[in-house]
């Protein structure tokens, strides 16, 4: 497993990260425990959750599974999206973040969060208030580093400029929607991150499963799969995308690899990407994702794959 710096931070994270939005729900505690143990054995040290995943149950499950192993992982969680009906049970205000971090710490059974991410931009709170609140959490030892998720490039740039001006801790990472068929972040976010050494962390690397090859042109989605009902996955089921997918699968096969591995490795070949967050519900998914961490595309190989996508 390769490890990369988390942007400007001194900490290093595995290039394959683990998304846990199904932990405490579809994945019960026994399986969460087994997955965490296997992840550590495979060298995966970056674990991503959020306070809203399974209404807090993901954090609870991780808290149990990480007992005695907490120092072996870089643990990330998020806050901002509403966790209740109250007018202040959301956002990135000092008021809410101080409550949210305490609840996450309790559920995770830890005294600190390694990477505390703002789950989305909060237009109702001044950036100055958010950055000062986060700086105070770091000073208090409750948070090690801070990051963003689903921000626009200008929002991240302005926030970090404010932090620099006031000598406060900056955002070291941005987690965003990025995969072979979703490349909007290449226009502004990736160039910004590359220029300013902010780590970019793609999520949904497999396009909800479309980039596994399990969905076949002209055939119904497999029973029980996300594509059966998910408008997100179904949106990728076009003739144009199937044409590209066929070429990508053939390219991967020619190189002795799977499309799953190629989807991760292509992302890891992009500028500023430090780790790819891949969700899972089974140990088999974890092992398949981890294999991609041992395959680093050359510049020429990455260019060949991009040419297929651009065709």
Catalytic residues: 53
> In a 3-state reduction of DSSP, which class is residue 260?
helix
Give the containing element (helix H, strand E) for 201.
strand 199-203
In angstroms, the CA 76 to CA 98 distance is 16
- Indicate the DSSP class of residue 110: -
Give the containing element (helix H, strand E) for 14.
strand 12-14
Whether the Cβ atoms of residue 267 and residue 205 lie closer than 8 Å to each other = yes
**What angle is formed at CA 19 by the lines to CA 255 and CA 67, rounded to 5 degrees?**
120
**Residue 74 CB coordination number (10 Å):** 21
In angstroms, the CA 176 to CA 24 distance is 23
């Amino acid at each position: 497993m390769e490890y990369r710096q988390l942007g400007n931070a001194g900490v290093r994270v595995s290039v394959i990260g683990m998304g846990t939005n199904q932990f405490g729900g579809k994945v019960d505690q026994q399986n969460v425990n087994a997955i965490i143990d296997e992840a550590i054995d495979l060298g995966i040290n970056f674990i991503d959750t959020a306070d809203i995943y399974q209404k807090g149950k993901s954090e609870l499950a991780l808290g149990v599974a990480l007992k005695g192993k907490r120092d072996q992982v870089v643990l990330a969680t998020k806050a901002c999206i509403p966790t209740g009906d109250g007018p202040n049970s959301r956002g990135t205000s000092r008021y809410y973040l101080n409550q949210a971090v305490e609840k996450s710490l309790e559920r995770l059974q830890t005294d600190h969060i390694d990477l505390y991410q703002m789950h989305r931009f909060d237009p109702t709170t001044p950036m100055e208030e958010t950055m000062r609140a986060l700086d105070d959490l770091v000073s208090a030892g409750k948070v090690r580093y801070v990051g963003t998720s689903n921000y626009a490039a200008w929002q991240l740039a302005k926030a970090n400029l404010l932090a620099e001006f006031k000598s406060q801790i900056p955002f070291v990472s941005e987690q965003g929607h990025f995969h072979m068929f979703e490349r909007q972040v290449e226009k502004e976010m990736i160039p910004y991150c590359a220029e300013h050494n902010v780590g970019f962390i793609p999520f949904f690397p497999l396009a909800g499963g479309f980039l596994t090859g399990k969905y076949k042109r002209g055939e119904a989605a497999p029973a029980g799969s996300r594509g059966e009902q998910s408008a997100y996955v179904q949106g990728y089921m076009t003739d144009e995308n199937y044409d590209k997918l066929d070429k990508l699968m053939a390219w991967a096969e020619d190189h002795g690899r799977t499309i799953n591995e190629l989807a991760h490795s292509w992302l890891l070949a992009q500028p500023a990407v430090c780790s790819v967050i891949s969700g899972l519900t089974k140990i088999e998914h974890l092992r398949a994702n981890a294999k991609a961490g041992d395959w680093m595309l050359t510049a020429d190989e990455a260019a060949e794959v991009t040419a297929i996508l651009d065709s």
